[in-house]
Chains A and B, each alone.
Chain A
Amino acid sequence: MLRYTVKRLGSLLASLVVASLVIFACIEVVPGDPASFMLGINAQPDTVAALREELGLNRAPHERYIAWVSGLVTGDFGTSYTYRSPVSEIVVERLAISLPLAIYALSLTILVAFPVGILAATRRGSLTDISVMATTQLGVAIPNFWFALLMVLVFAVNLRWFSAGGFPGWDEGFLAAVKALTLPAIALALPQASILARVMRSSLLDTLSEDYIRTARAKGLTARQALRRHALRNALIPVLTIIGLQFSFLLAGAIIIENVFFLPGLGRLVFQAISQRDLIVVESVVMLLVFAVIIVNFLVDLAYAWVDPRLRSRT
């Protein structure tokens, strides 16, 4: 296990280095240079020169790369050009919305997908199974931002149960904040829950046909007991991997969904930074999100190898 962990840690570091190089290079190849890109075509030459100085663009690229990365490591993400405040402060502020939203959506995904997937697998071929498969097929195909719009139309415009968007802040009370995150979380969770329910179903169907389940039944366990004691635990392995992967989809999906509901989270920050051409924010926040995804994938890999010892020797 130790050897496997060290090996995976090595490739984790390599991924992070390459990712940072790619993101840095993307910003480098901006038409013109970052300073004139940020200020637009009507900027005065001396303003551009001042910003070049501020951004350190007069230094060599490798010096700037090292400065950027060492800043990231020490928690100094630079200063936002439009907000005029440290990027790390803005990020922490925005995370207070995006992180609870992601956890909320992931919890909904699991709470819906598990029972639904198990139900469909245990009643394979029944009307329940067929309707689950049909509904999840729709859930996968529906664009989640459109689903979000429809929910706004029904629950905010017509029924007036929820507000159409915005976030009151955590100071306004826990319930009010959770209420504001409910529609966005459902919109984010729908496609993921559909995928996860399908994976849960097919994984459970696979394990239910294994010999050890027949043995368990033969020694007198009821179908329910065999399911709970033997099948579920084994079926969970592929399901856990998918949950890990879904984290990255939730992050990316949040960029779109936060825009539908005007939630001031990380996704909206990236998007606003793009339209304001605030490259410092874009560069650092994108790197942060990629970092989060790579770390989660790493943890999933480790958990997977811990559960299934065969994987350790394979790599």
Chain B
Amino acid sequence: MTEEGLFRAALRSRNLVVGNLLAAAFAIGALLSFFWTPYDVTELAIATRLQAPSGVHWFGTDHFGRDILSMIMVGAQTSIAVAIVAVGIGMGIGVPLGLAAAARRGSLLDETIMRGNDLVFAFPSLLIAIMITTVFGPSALNAIIAIGIFNIPVFARLTRGAALPLWTRDYILSARVSGKGPVRISVEHILPNVTNLLIVQGTIQFSLGILAEAALSYVGLGVQPPTPSWGRMLADSQTLIAIAPHMAMFPGFAILLTVLGLNLAGDGLRDLLDPRIRNAQP
């Protein structure tokens, strides 16, 4: 498909358009919050606490009188940053491992990498994330590391699985004949051919990362106050849910819509980049 054709197909994919729009809305909110938010999120205004949504505070205020819309904008920074770095860790370590395992198929290295992956997979991820934050203390950094570790086997498996059949192709054989080593072949010929798959999986892991970050900060093991985070806001809303239900609504919808947007974008991308799936699943 030509670049222009690909772009047209992308516009026709409803999943991709809606998903990207949703994800973009939150990304823009997060970027905007670096420069401007309707109100200062560190400023407490007890006089105007627990106000329902109105023209002054679109999403209402929380138990400290902070503007919920502003907090959601700043909270988006946290969610996105944690998820991006966690996916980065997963890709940065997982992809080279997967490439190496595929290049040395059946060797001790391959066996070690894959068994190590199985092991990380067997752990209930959230449990280990909790364990890490217990030992090293709750913080954004530890949440990132905890979520990131569990992205490693996902990318390693995916890369290995996609790379294995490529190694039997003729163009790899000719690259070997021309004297290229396994590292160079992996980087120059294998990696470009698995990039599409990695992007699709990256989108999915990104949305899982946002959910995981929300869950961790909900139980108080993620980003610490006063930094706003969506999970933390939901935790704060819990005891006040009978008198201020709006406190629980908006952060929840923020998580739901971001994750939904990313999932739709992932589905759309997969359909777009993999014609086999596009034809198999009308």
Question: Are the CB atoms of A149 and B127 closer together than 8 Å?
Answer: no
Question: Are the CB atoms of B218 and A153 closer together than 8 Å?
Answer: no
Question: Min CB distance, A204 to chain B, in Å?
Answer: 13
The CA of A15 and the CA of B207, in the complex, are separated in Å by 29
Q: Mark B99-123, 1 if CB is under 8 A from A, else 0.
A: 0000000000000000100110011
Question: Are the CB atoms of A255 and B219 closer together than 8 Å?
Answer: yes
B135 beta carbon closer than 8 Å to chain A = yes
- Contact with A274, one of B128, B134, B238 (Cβ below 8 angstroms): B134
- Across the interface, which residues of A come within 8 angstroms of B124, CB to CB? 248-249, 251-252, 289-290, 293
Question: Min CB distance, A274 to chain B, in Å?
Answer: 5
Interface size on B, residues (CB 8 A): 41
Q: Which of B173-202 contact A (CB under 8 A)?
A: none
A29 beta carbon closer than 8 Å to chain B = yes
Question: Known contacts being A149-B237, A150-B252, is A143 close to B127, with CB within 8 Å?
Answer: no
Question: Are the CB atoms of B219 and A256 closer together than 8 Å?
Answer: yes
Question: Are the CB atoms of B242 and A256 closer together than 8 Å?
Answer: no
Question: Are the CB atoms of B122 and A15 closer together than 8 Å?
Answer: yes
Q: Which of A262-305 contact B (CB under 8 A)?
A: 270-271, 274, 282, 286, 289-290, 293-294, 297
Question: Are the CB atoms of B256 and A143 closer together than 8 Å?
Answer: yes
- Contact with B260, one of A138, A251, A270, A271 (Cβ below 8 angstroms): A138
Question: Known contacts being A143-B211, A146-B252, A289-B124, is A23 close to B131, with CB within 8 Å?
Answer: yes
Q: Which of A1-51 contact B (CB under 8 A)?
A: 11, 14-15, 18-19, 23, 26-27, 29-31
The CA of A308 and the CA of B238, in the complex, are separated in Å by 47
The CA of A125 and the CA of B282, in the complex, are separated in Å by 8
Q: Mark B197-235, 1 if CB is under 8 A from A, else 0.
A: 000000000010001001100110100000000010010
Question: Are the CB atoms of B242 and A157 closer together than 8 Å?
Answer: yes
Q: Which of B41-75 contact A (CB under 8 A)?
A: none
- Contact with B234, one of A145, A153, A202, A282 (Cβ below 8 angstroms): A145
The CA of A255 and the CA of B221, in the complex, are separated in Å by 13
Question: Are the CB atoms of B115 and A29 closer together than 8 Å?
Answer: no
- Contact with B259, one of A15, A141, A290 (Cβ below 8 angstroms): A141
Question: Known contacts being A157-B242, A248-B124, is A149 close to B252, with CB within 8 Å?
Answer: yes
Question: Are the CB atoms of A143 and B252 closer together than 8 Å?
Answer: yes
B13 beta carbon closer than 8 Å to chain A = no
Question: Are the CB atoms of A137 and B122 closer together than 8 Å?
Answer: no
A96 beta carbon closer than 8 Å to chain B = no
- Across the interface, which residues of A come within 8 angstroms of B128, CB to CB? 286
Residue of B nearest to A251 (CB): B124
The CA of A149 and the CA of B247, in the complex, are separated in Å by 11
- Across the interface, which residues of A come within 8 angstroms of B260, CB to CB? 137-138, 141
Residue of B nearest to A37 (CB): B135
Question: Are the CB atoms of A255 and B127 closer together than 8 Å?
Answer: yes
- Contact with B207, one of A141, A146, A157, A294 (Cβ below 8 angstroms): A141
Interface-central residue, A29, A143, A145, A253, by most chain B CB under 10 Å: A143
Question: Are the CB atoms of A252 and B122 closer together than 8 Å?
Answer: no
- Contact with B255, one of A19, A30, A143, A260 (Cβ below 8 angstroms): A143
The CA of A256 and the CA of B264, in the complex, are separated in Å by 26
The CA of A248 and the CA of B215, in the complex, are separated in Å by 16
Question: Are the CB atoms of A142 and B122 closer together than 8 Å?
Answer: no
Question: Known contacts being A143-B255, A153-B245, is A11 close to B127, with CB within 8 Å?
Answer: no
B125 beta carbon closer than 8 Å to chain A = yes
- Across the interface, which residues of A come within 8 angstroms of B211, CB to CB? 143
- Across the interface, which residues of B come within 8 angstroms of A142, CB to CB? 256, 259
Residue of A nearest to B252 (CB): A146
Q: Which of A123-171 contact B (CB under 8 A)?
A: 125, 137-138, 140-143, 145-146, 149-150, 152-153, 157
Question: Can you offer 6 A-B residue contacts whose CB atoms are under 8 A?
Answer: A23-B131, A143-B234, A149-B252, A252-B125, A274-B221, A286-B127
Q: Which residues of B contact A (CB under 8 A)?
A: 115, 118-119, 122-128, 130-132, 134-136, 207, 211, 214-215, 218-219, 221, 231, 234, 237-238, 241-242, 245, 248, 251-252, 255-256, 259-260, 263-264, 281-282
A141-B207, A249-B124 given; name 20 further pairs at CB < 8 Å.
A19-B119, A31-B136, A125-B282, A137-B263, A137-B264, A140-B263, A141-B256, A143-B214, A143-B231, A143-B234, A143-B252, A143-B255, A146-B251, A149-B238, A149-B248, A152-B241, A252-B126, A259-B219, A290-B123, A293-B123
